[in-house]
Each structure stands twice: as C-alpha cells, then as structure tokens.
Structure 1
Amino acid sequence: MGKALWLTRLFGRRRILGKASAALRTLGPLIRDVVSGRYRPVPWKALGLAAGAFIYLISPLDLIPDVLVGLGLLDDLVIVTWLLGKLDDALEDYRCWRGETPPQV
C-alpha cells in the first residue's frame, strides 16, 4: 500500500484533511472579526477547539510520546486534524454571517 493511499484511508478519504484546511483558512478572519467587535456572539466552542488543537500540538504530554518518532508524530497529526475538523463544523454560523458558502470537501 502506497503512502498516499495509506494516509487517505487513515483520514477518511481526505475529507477530514479538507475540513481541517478550511478551518485553518477561516480561523484568522474569525479571530480578527471577534477582536475588532464586528462579529458577535463570540464562538467559544470554535475558539476552544482551536486552542485545544494548538495546546495538544505544543504540549509535551501526548498519547504516544514524540520520542517514538513515527508514532509520536502520527498521533499528533491525527488528534490535531480531528480537532480542526470539529472546528470546521463549529465555524458554520460565522461563514453564513460572512456570506460564504460551506466549503466543498
């Protein structure tokens, strides 16, 4: 099994990677609009998921220690990508407010 095929199967046929990518593209404008006061109410769930993904990524505490290079980094990738996929779902109201169509992933 090739590497790309393995990753595709691991992340559910690239859907979760597309959602994670869309969430990252939307996160910057969301934070800018919340800080400037243009977008209310504050989407606490979305901000919490983004913070959780960031904290898990930089935290020395992992499900699988990073000293196990292949597996340690893989668990970071899986957990952070999953959290960003959930973040994408939480950004639906914000995208509607901006007049954007939902991302096609």
Structure 2
Amino acid sequence: MFGNKKNKIDEDFVKTEVTKIDDDDVTIAMDSQEEVDDKINNSGLLQKYSELAKVMYGMLKDYRKGIYTKVPWFTIATIAFSFLYILNPLDIIPDFIPGLGYIDDLAILTFGLRFIESDLHNYLDWKLEHQDA
C-alpha cells in the first residue's frame, strides 16, 4: 500500500501517497475510527494528536454527509491516508518495534497536518458558526 519500504518519510512521500487515495480508502478510514482512536490513545507518541484526530474524523463525517463541502479533495485524502497509515502495522517502521514503531506514524501525521492546517481551522470556524443552527 505504501510503496517501497526504502522510501524515506518526507513531504514528497506523503504528497505522493496522498494522491493515490480514492473514495474507497476514505470509507475504510472512516469505518476504522475506533481502531485508529485506540492506536492513537495507546501509543505514547501519538496521544497528543487525539483531539486533532477527533476533529479530522468530524470533518470526514460532515464531508461524507454533504453538509461540509468547502474542503479540497487533497485534505480529505490526506486525512484518510494518515489514518490508514496509522492502522498499517507493517509500515516503514513496523509498530511492534519498541520505542521506534510509532515514529513514522508521528511523522506522517505531522506532515499531513502541516498540509491541511488551514482547512482544519476553516472547518472548526464553520462548526462554531453552525452549531447553533
């Protein structure tokens, strides 16, 4: 799923992999929310992203429902890719390696968030404006 194991994790790697995400991948990511939440909350390195993951899942759900459409496909694909990468136990650095297994997951989330930060802010602003409606 994630290309050659020799790939280094950098912005170009993430951008390239995000372009391969399709609608079925988004569905898989959405259907795996509980597993992603568990992995984030139970891995020391990723815990700080717990609240952001909730916002990202909220955006995916509102996008799928058609009630939030002011988001580019690249942002949706980045969120899906990030979650699918976290779920993959045999990614570039396998998760079962103590102390190192989640470093690549952290890198993917960090790069992904850098790409979509303004879209997440826009989504949160939209949520605040529409929560009373």
TM-score by length of 2: 0.45
User: How far does the alpha carbon of each residue in 1:51-100 deviate from its partner, in whole angstroms, 9 at most, with x for none?
Assistant: 121222223231x3345322223333x22441463344431221222236
Number of equivalent positions: 81
Tell me if structure 2 keeps the 8 A contact 1:49–1:84.
yes
> Distance in 2 between the 1:75 and 1:33 partners?
28
Could you tell me the TM-score, scaled by structure 1's length? 0.54
Task: Judge conservation of contact 2:71–2:119 (CA < 8 Å) in 1.
Answer: no
Partners of 1:22 and 1:55 in 2: CA distance: 18
Q: Which has the higher contact order (CA 8 A, sep 6+)?
A: 1
Identity, % of aligned positions: 27
- 5+ residue gaps in structure 2? 1-44
Structure 1: gaps (5+ residues): 1-10, 12-16, 101-105
In the alignment, what sits opposite 1:47?
Answer: 76
Larger Rg: 1
RMSD, aligned CA: 2.8
